[in-house]
């Protein structure tokens, strides 16, 4: 199945492209991880990126961020080619990125406040007092208590680590937020709460979100579109309905497996429950 346009109020052609990747090739030694990958991330959307274990989902994120070199291909961010930028121009683009790595990647020797201030120290020339104020604002924004500011990562629960890392990702008020398995390791309640937080922040701040995930609940709940990776390429993309209709073998296996069917049936059951249908039944004259 070739990539399809999202079913939304605006067509893909009419929406601004935040990130455009064309012909991306990334290899480790003789092994190609990404092999001619093409993908557009539309401004203001939440794009879920799925694929089998070890297929290169996180590699694409790190390639866009410049952490892994590509051997071929072209990447544009808001219409600007990353290859054509000077060092200063690339830093300006990097400031528009916020990143939440899978395990949080907090510096163990720094407090939550200090972790959030790391990108501020790197990119901003502001006073310590202002940095403290901004750090507290981000802490509250992600739903942490103010007293979390002076705690070290070892004193935090898994869910708190995710939120602290998200606060750091938001430190510079980015335009694009990269999330690498954001609900990994969280219990179902914590994962649902984190999904709700992402949705709230995305809508409030107008973020573009690129989310690497295997969490079917997240794909159903917060993603506008989904892109599937297999054999080094994007093999299908679109809304959840379009992914369910895909005839690609891996995509069908992923979205029609036992776990996926149970989730789909549960959601359809909620939509067609007697209570919901009763509220939608037309009023009839006696």
In order of 51, 55, 236, the CA distances from 215 in angstroms are 11, 16, 17
The residue extents of the domains of the chain are 1-96+174-267, 109-173
**Of the given ranges (5-19, 41-55, 245-259, 272-286), which has the lowest mean pLDDT?**
272-286
Under the phi-then-psi rule, with left for phi > 0, alpha for psi from -120 to 50, and beta for the rest, what region is 73? left
Condensed to tens digits (0 to 9), the pLDDT of residues 15-41 reads 799 999 999 999 998 899 999 999 999
**Is the domain covering 1-96+174-267 a CATH 3.40.50.300 domain?**
yes
Condensed to tens digits (0 to 9), the pLDDT of residues 109-153 reads 999 999 999 999 999 999 999 999 999 999 999 999 999 999 999
The token duo for 219 is 């794909």
Please give the model's pTM, rounded to 2 decimal places. 0.84
pLDDT class for 279, splitting at 50, 70, 90? very low
Q: What local confidence, expressed as pLDDT, does residue 30 receive?
A: 86
């Amino acid at each position: 199945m070739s990539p399809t346009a999202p079913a939304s109020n605006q067509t893909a052609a009419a929406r601004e492209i935040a990130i455009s990747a064309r012909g991306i090739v990334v290899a480790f030694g003789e092994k190609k991880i990404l092999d001619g990958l093409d993908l557009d991330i539309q401004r203001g959307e939440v794009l879920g990126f799925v694929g089998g274990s070890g297929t290169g989902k996180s590699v694409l994120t790190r390639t866009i961020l410049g952490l892994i070199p590509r051997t071929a291909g072209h990447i544009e961010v808001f219409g600007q080619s990353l290859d054509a930028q000077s060092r200063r121009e690339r830093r300006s683009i990097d400031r528009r990125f916020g990143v939440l790595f899978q395990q949080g990647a907090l510096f163990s020797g720094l407090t939550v406040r200090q972790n959030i201030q790391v990108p501020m120290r790197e990119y901003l020339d502001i006073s310590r007092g202002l940095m403290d104020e901004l750090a507290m604002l981000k802490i509250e924004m992600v739903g942490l208590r103010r007293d979390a500011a002076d705690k070290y990562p070892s004193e935090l629960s898994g869910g708190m680590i995710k939120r602290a890392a998200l606060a750091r990702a938001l430190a510079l008020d980015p335009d694009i937020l990269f999330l690498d398995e954001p609900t990994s390791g969280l219990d179902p309640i914590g994962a649902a709460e984190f999904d709700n937080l992402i949705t709230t922040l995305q809508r409030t701040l107008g973020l573009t979100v690129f989310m690497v995930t295997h969490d079917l609940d997240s794909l159903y709940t917060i993603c506008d579109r989904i892109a599937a990776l297999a054999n080094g390429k994007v093999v299908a993309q679109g809304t959840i309905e379009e992914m369910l209709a895909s005839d690609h073998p891996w995509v069908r296996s992923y979205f029609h497996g036992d776990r996926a069917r149970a989730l789909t049936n549960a959601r359809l059951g909620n939509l067609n429950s007697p209570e919901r249908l009763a509220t939608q039944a037309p009023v009839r004259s006696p």
